[in-house]
């Protein structure tokens, strides 16, 4: 038991709530399965849960004033860094399209009947750790790894449609078998998912994606018709044949890439999931019958942004995943990574480069048997050599944008950026030393004359500067 649980037990034993507080839900379920107790604890109270939370704050057991939701008879406190939520045992009913229930006080059985699945209805009495099974079937279902609802699954799942996603997750997280009625009810009520906020759907998806069986969860979502409602761009990948090096369609190849990459790294997992999302839109069949997907990485990066923004992911995560998707073909079938190419990779990918290598390897290992695989060992060695030999700041233009404008007389605009990038490329290629300012000035003046439109006049200062440099 976590220390916070023991602290609550001692504190509540000295209150009128003794014997009336029960740990409920995943904490009880996972404990019985031999898994660690989660950091957040949920309790059912026979009585006034808000009053109990206020008592705990008054006794300085909670480090924060209770966060109270009076409509639901719920209060949250913090005990030794652990979130503890208390809810009054209650009945629930839903009206129309809303996912917010109308509540009224009820018995422990009433409270168990409102739970999503029988395996989540078990209670552990805080006072003496006794397991209570209000439904009379929760323990048996947990032992048999059966996933079923406390009452009619059509009612349970349509009342709070997020439970449909939870059913998929619990199937794989617990190794449980859903009874046929649950799967049938999901398919019959799937359109109800539209009333759930994008944030709640995202959070449930994250829990699935970080499981070892994340790809299997996604396939269940597709087969149940739920994925179409969340990200139709992903469903479009199913059945898109790739030919040549591939033995799987785009969707099943994607699931294999996810499995190859492993789980636990959210950004990498999302990049694996979305790396080929641009293929359905870019598929073409050449005259020789070969299937090609020209530019699918750029299209995929754009679609990736659309999907992740729709699901309310953070801007930071969106940018990281888009960068990986856009660059996932960067190494292609590279046999030998040159030093300049390695420098560009380190410069352009920054902290995401190791993830790109992991994605590239997982993708290559998803090709059909007999296809020559990209050998990443020499590539990794070259990258480490470049990382260890010099700083990324040495691969930048020796001249700033303002210095380039003052030297050439070019007005602010895209041309300045092109000239600065030109100098950075010369440094990366080894044709210009990072601190060779005279060389940089000469190069940029010549390039400015080549790139500038005919109507642009390179200033007299620039011409004199070039003459001075060339005369040395």
CB 439, CB 432: distance < 8 Å: yes
Nearest CA-CA partner of 322 in 346, 343, 348? 348
What average pLDDT does this structure show over 96-119? 81
- For residue 434, the model assigns a pLDDT of 80
200-225 pLDDT tens trace: 999 999 999 999 999 999 999 999 99
All residues at 6 or more sequence positions from 344 whose CB lies less than 8 Å from its CB, including other chains = 428
For position 464, what pLDDT does the model report?
Answer: 44
Give the span between the Cα atoms of 129 and 180, in whole angstroms: 34
CATH of span 1-144: 3.30.460.10
Domain residue spans of the chain: 1-144, 145-230, 265-391, 396-470
What mean pLDDT, rounded, does the chain reach?
Answer: 89
Q: Would you place residue 288 in the very low, low, confident or very high pLDDT band (cuts 50, 70, 90)?
A: confident
Residue bearing the bigger pLDDT, 104 or 281? 281
Mean pLDDT, range 395-399, rounded to an integer: 84
Alpha-carbon dihedral angle through residues 343, 348, 351, 356, given to the nearest 10 degrees: -90
What pLDDT digit, counting tens, does each position of 162-215 carry?
A: 999 999 999 999 999 999 999 999 999 999 999 999 999 999 999 999 999 999
pLDDT greater than 70 at residue 370:
no
Identify the weakest region by mean pLDDT among 196-200, 277-281, 353-357, 401-405: 401-405
Strand 90-93 relative to strand 102-105: parallel, antiparallel, unpaired? antiparallel
- Of 172-186, 281-295, 422-436, least confident by mean pLDDT is 422-436
Answer whether residue 101 shows pLDDT above 70: no
**CATH placement of domain 145-230:** 1.10.110.30
**Cβ-count burial of 393 within 10 angstroms (0-12 exposed, 13-18 middle, 19+ buried)?**
exposed
Instruction: Give yes or no for residue 41 having a pLDDT over 60.
Output: yes
**C-alpha to C-alpha distance for 339 and 395, rounded to whole angstroms:** 12
Q: List phi, psi (to 5°) of 332.
A: 50, -125
CA distance 130 to 29: 13
Nearest to 325, CA basis, from 350, 354, 296: 296
**What pLDDT shows up at residue 102?**
67
Mean pLDDT of 245-256: 93
Cβ atoms within 10 Å of 212's Cβ, excluding its own: 12
φ, ψ of residue 289 in degrees (nearest 5): 90, -5
Residue 372 confidence (pLDDT): 73
């Amino acid at each position: 038991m976590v220390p916070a649980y023991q602290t609550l037990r001692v504190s509540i034993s000295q209150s009128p709530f003794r014997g009336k507080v029960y740990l409920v839900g995943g904490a009880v379920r996972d404990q019985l399965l031999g898994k660690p107790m989660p950091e957040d604890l949920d309790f059912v109270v026979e009585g006034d849960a808000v009053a109990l939370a206020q008592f705990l704050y008054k006794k300085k057991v909670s480090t924060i004033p209770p966060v109270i939701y009076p409509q639901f008879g719920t209060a949250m406190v913090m005990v030794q860094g652990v979130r503890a939520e208390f809810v009054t045992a209650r009945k629930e009913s839903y009206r129309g399209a809303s996912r917010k229930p109308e509540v009224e006080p009820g018995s422990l059985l009433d409270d168990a009947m409102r739970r999503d699945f029988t395996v989540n209805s078990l209670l552990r009495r805080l006072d003496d750790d006794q397991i209570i099974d209000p439904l009379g079937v929760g323990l048996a279902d947990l032992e048999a790894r059966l996933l079923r609802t406390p009452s009619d699954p059509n009612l349970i799942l349509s009342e709070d449609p997020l439970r449909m996603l939870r059913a998929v997750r619990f199937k794989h997280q617990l190794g449980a078998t859903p009874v046929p009625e649950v799967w049938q009810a999901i398919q019959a009520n799937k359109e109800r998912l539209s009333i759930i906020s994008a944030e709640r759907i995202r959070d449930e998806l994250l829990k699935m994606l970080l499981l070892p069986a994340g790809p299997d969860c996604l396939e269940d979502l597709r087969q149940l018709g739920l994925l179409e409602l969340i990200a139709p761009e992903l469903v479009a990948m199913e059945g898109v044949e790739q030919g040549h090096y591939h033995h799987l369609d785009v969707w099943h190849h994607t699931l294999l890439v996810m499995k190859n990459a492993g789980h636990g790294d959210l950004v990498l997992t999302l990049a694996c999931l979305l790396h080929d999302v641009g293929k359905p839109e870019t598929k073409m069949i050449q005259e020789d019958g070969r299937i090609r997907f020209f530019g699918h990485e750029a299209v995929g990066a754009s679609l990736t942004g659309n999907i992740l923004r729709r699901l309310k992911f953070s801007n930071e995560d969106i940018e990281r995943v888009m960068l990986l998707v856009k660059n996932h073909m960067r190494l292609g079938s590279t046999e030998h990574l040159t030093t300049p190419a390695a420098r560009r990779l380190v410069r352009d990918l920054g902290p995401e480069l190791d993830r790109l290598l992991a994605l590239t390897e997982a993708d290559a290992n998803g090709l059909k048997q007999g296809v020559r695989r990209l050998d990443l060992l020499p590539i990794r060695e070259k990258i480490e050599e470049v990382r260890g030999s010099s700083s990324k700041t040495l691969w930048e233009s020796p001249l700033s944008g303002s210095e380039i404008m003052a030297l050439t007389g070019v007005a602010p605009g895209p041309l300045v950026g092109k000239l600065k990038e030109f100098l950075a490329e010369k440094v990366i290629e080894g044709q210009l030393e990072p601190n060779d300012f005279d060389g940089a000035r000469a190069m940029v003046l010549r390039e400015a004359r080549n790139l500038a439109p005919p109507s642009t006049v390179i200033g007299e200062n620039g011409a004199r500067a070039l003459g001075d440099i060339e005369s040395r």
